[in-house]
Amino acid sequence: MVDRYREHVQPSPLRDAIACLRCGGVSDLLLVPHDRHGGPPGEVRVCTSAVCGIGFTWPVRGDVSAAPAAGEMGGIGAVVASRMAAASVAPLANALGPGSLVVDVGAGTGLRAKALADRGFDVVVIEPDPVEVMRATAHLADTSAQVVRAGVHELGDVMGARRADAVVLWHVLEHLDDLGDALRRVSEVTRDGGMLSVAVPNRGSLEARVFGDSWHAWEPSRHRWHFDERSLRLVLGEAGFSVEEISPRGGWGYPSSLAFSLAPGLDPQVNPGRGVAGRTLAAAMIPAALGARAAGRGSQLVTLARRT
């Protein structure tokens, strides 16, 4: 299928010499993103593969943490974040039977895992960042969830003979070095017919179009891959997951992307001292994010897939 697609690709004046980092096919320069995380200006590009359709950041930077822990939240910010996390996993939770084993890979501070544990599921949390692991352990202290400091490549060791009824990859795929290898490992620990819940930034969103090279979610220092609906479907399909639902309408949208596209200096991962202001602005963007989501042009793609 991929080869047939290649034959029909027309030459483009923007055609780039860089081969797709995923499939090796020809690629096009999409844009030169603003890098707020310390990268040299103008050197980093986002290209899209003319073959598999995925977007990728070039060159690859190996010196930046995938997603450094954001500051701890309290008060109303923590309440809003918990409600958003619960909304984001609700479609998956509604599709699972009681007592299902759910693995949240790259779980961050464990907010989604907490929502899943509160609904009675057996939860395993996998997170590589030591600070996030500490916070997740605290958030999940009154649950039976297991919190493990590990990367996706260690998933098999953590799971042993257990097989997951569902795996959550919430804003994880865009960070991974080797998508194919990671999804193969996820597939190996998921039972036949088990579910996969995925969210990634949507490069086909209204925001990506409006903000162009200033769109927050390009995050070229940390995001290696940039998905639209077609490329996400293809990557999951090649890994043996059949997509049941893929939509820019999931959860509460992705309000932090809109907030930090408008006010990059308030991104707590760029400027930890402005964390409270940043999160307040992100909360204020929820209605706008919900509006774009309702129009089908939301800034994240939310997917439910099933292991075939």
* Residue ranges that bind Zn ion, judged by CB under 5 A: 20, 22-23, 25, 49, 51-52
**Cα–chain center distance at 96:** 21
- Distance of alpha carbon 81 from alpha carbon 101, whole angstroms: 23
Report the residue number, 71 or 237, with the smaller CB distance to Zn ion: 237
With contact defined as beta carbons under 8 Å apart, do 251 and 199 qualify? yes
- How far apart are CB 26 and Zn ion at their closest, in Å? 9
Residue 177 beta carbon to Zn ion: minimum distance, rounded to whole angstroms: 15
> Whole-number minimum distance, CB 55 to Zn ion, in Å?
9
**Minimum CB–partner distance for residue 23 and Zn ion (Å):** 3
* C-beta closer to Zn ion: residue 9 or 134: 9
Exposed / middle / buried, residue 307 (Cβ in 10 Å: 0-12, 13-18, 19+): buried
Q: At residue 292, what are phi and psi to the nearest 5 degrees?
A: -65, -40
Question: Given the complex with Zn ion, which of 54 and 285 has the nearer CB atom?
Answer: 54
CB of 50 to Zn ion, least distance (A): 8
* Residue 296, burial from CB neighbour count under 10 angstroms (0-12, 13-18, 19+): exposed
Query: Which is it for strands 300-307 and 190-201: parallel, antiparallel or unpaired?
Result: antiparallel
* Shortest distance (Å) from residue 58 CB to Zn ion: 12
- Of 16 and 118, CB closest to Zn ion: 16
Nearer residue to Zn ion within complex by CB, 22 or 34: 22
Of 29 and 290, nearer to Zn ion (C-beta) is 29
Q: Where are the alpha helices (DSSP H) in the chain?
A: 2-7, 75-95, 111-118, 130-139, 155-159, 179-188, 206-211, 229-238, 255-262, 275-284, 286-294
